[in-house]
Amino acid sequence: MEVFLQYWLKLVMICLMVSVLVLKIAVLLWWRPKKIEQHFSRQGIKGPPYHFYTGNVKEAMAMMLKACSQPMPLCHNILPRVLAFYHHWNKIYGGMFLVWFGPTVQVTVSDPDMIREILSSKSELYEKKEGHHLIKRLEGDGLLSLNGEKWGHHRKTITPIFHMENLKLLVPMVVQSVSEMVEKWGRSRSGEIEIEVCEWFQRLTEDVIMRTVFGSWYEDDDGKAIFRLQAQQMVLAAQALRIVSLPAYRYLPTKRNISCWKMGWEIKRSLMKLIECRKIDTKGVMQENGAKDLVGLMMQPSSNITVDDMVEECKTFLFAGKHTTSNLLTWTTVLLAMHPQWQVQAREEVIRVCGSRAVLTKDDVVKLKTLTMILNESLRLYPPTIATIRHAKVDVKLRDYIVPRGTELMIPILALHHDQAIWGSNANEFYPPRFSEGVARAAKHPIGFIPFGLGVRTCIGQNLAILQAKLTLSIILQRFSFKLAPTYQHAPTISMLLYPQHGAPVIFKPLSHRDEPP
């Protein structure tokens, strides 16, 4: 009898535990999402209905896959292709609507005044969303993902690297790297050469960002190995974003997780080796050219940054520094190939400022006004980051709306940059003169242009990206005319960053006289 009672007691306990678990799952995956839907619906904010567990992921992915199944015409109205789900639901529900990524809701905010509140004037009420665990392994737990006091301390320590006076000291090194690249392009016996610029610009920016992070004391093979592993991690992370998984999934020894763990360990081992080599160097924080480097600054006793934190910051800067600049160079080259009249104007300016000098100086860069307008227009039409996400730290009032604590707010930067209400009827056209009076006066609203973010979390490396882009394009314009290859297919797409889905083949032809446009 006693054994029988113990058996039934255990059975009752198991049933109770299962019931509690089922109840918690029901609350998390059904009751809570429905309560959130009702909360926002009462305020006039709606969206596609929530589906159990998956939310709207299946619908969103279907729209994205359909949009990316075919190349698009040679135009710049890329929003319907790149953010197909946003474009579709925005037409139905307006500029502020709900989207469910599994049981997690995102409120899409496209009003520039609200965006200013979230990113700038009331940014203390919001913080950066913690990304997918595979993305975090890729980007590192550095400035991109940190919040609070630790983020502030790291940013203060690292900022001196990106002061313009320090960046100008990197000019000779960048010029040398670019010159070596274009020398290889000019060796074609046929007089023309087809280049996959996306790949070449990635290799170029890898060298520059490695020198910015580690100074002149790194082995090229170590850098290549790290970037190769990060590229593999990027593929895995992009695949993972297409499915809905429970939080515990990250700890399961799945094939994808095991691969990512191994790559993470290899990257950490390589970075630790480079950091140790940098420690041995006796030159302090200065490179041979007098410029500061990231690891050197973080090693200063006053920085109080651990070696593990150094590794995470290195991951962040190697990934973001490479892709931000290489994407900017790729899309600007494509734009100049598509619009030869602006290529001619940019070349004339470079020749007027620099003449036939093969070596540009830091003083040349600031005089390139036309090229600056072209780069800004490239960043407007093809921003490196097409959206950013914040979540509310507390219950907040956003204009007339009550946003509960923990709600994610998605700011579609690409949509903002293509909004005709902000940029006029030619918002989807390549028109650099809109920036002739500077960024502040380019749009009808001062928050209309935020390719590098806004407020205290503005991209710390934007000056390096712009400087490198100006130097690279100036040298290319001095030496080549170029056009899109017949095989080019215009297919901007998103895989964490905005990139050409089928590559960017461009035909370069050496100029017969560097001091004369073709």
> What one-letter code names the amino acid at 309?
D
DSSP 197-259: HHHHHHHHHHHHHHHHHHTT---HHHHHHHHHHHHHHHHHHHHHTTS---GGGGGS--HHHHH
- Phi, psi (degrees; rounded to nearest 5) at 339: -125, 80
Return the ∠ at Cα 379 (arms to 378 and 385), rounded to 5°.
Answer: 135
Do 470 and 372 contact (CB within 8 A), yes or no?
yes
Longest dimension (CA), the chain: 103
| Measured CA distances, 266 to 170, 239, 262 (Å) | 29, 21, 6
> Is 459 marked as binding a ligand?
yes
DSSP 366-409: TT-HHHHHHHHHHHHHS-S-S-EEEEESS-EEETTEEE-TT-EE
Residue the block writes with tokens 């520039």 = 112
Q: Which residues pair with 128 in a beta bridge?
A: 390
Do 423 and 434 contact (CB within 8 A), yes or no?
yes
Which two three-digit tokens encode residue 189? 């016996």
Q: Which residues pair with 495 in a beta bridge?
A: 497
Residues 55 and 244: their CA atoms lie apart, in Å, by 9
Residues 361 and 95: their CA atoms lie apart, in Å, by 45
Residues 470 and 344: their CA atoms lie apart, in Å, by 16
Which two three-digit tokens encode residue 229? 């592993």
Binding residues for heme: 459
Binding residues: 459
